[in-house]
Structure 1
């Protein structure tokens, strides 16, 4: 349960801050303004920092990038918390 709690908090508050640096590294934007490097960084940070499984973190990355553009994700507000929790529960609970 502690891993789930950490993952939920990371989605909303920690990970967006970590990805600001990756926005300057790769100009080749793909899916909704997300570069391959940003998508990969999101998954890697989830696995290494939040101790999620590779499958859980790939699920989170896919759903987050489907839900929000890169810019929107980096500017999430408390209004987005409910949807972020739904995404996390979908990914953590389904594996």
Structure 2
């Protein structure tokens, strides 16, 4: 998703309920960098519970590890649904 979107909006009910909108962050060094830490922290301070970092993956936050896992699992499921929908749409073209 991070390669061709600036944000991800789930199209399934679970995604709409738990994550609503997922920002996609692009940083110069997407692994173990201060830029990455600041960018992800800023998104969490803005109220996002999960984000995608281009060329890296997702980061999530929660009151517990299980809550953070819920956001990650929801994103994974929503992204799979979106991918399959895009594939079917392309086949119909």
Would the TM-score normalized by the shorter structure come out above 0.5? no
Structure with more contact order per residue of length (Cα contacts < 8 Å, sep ≥ 6): 1
Larger fraction in strand: 2
Which is helix-richer, 1 or 2? 1
* TM-score normalised over the length of structure 2: 0.30
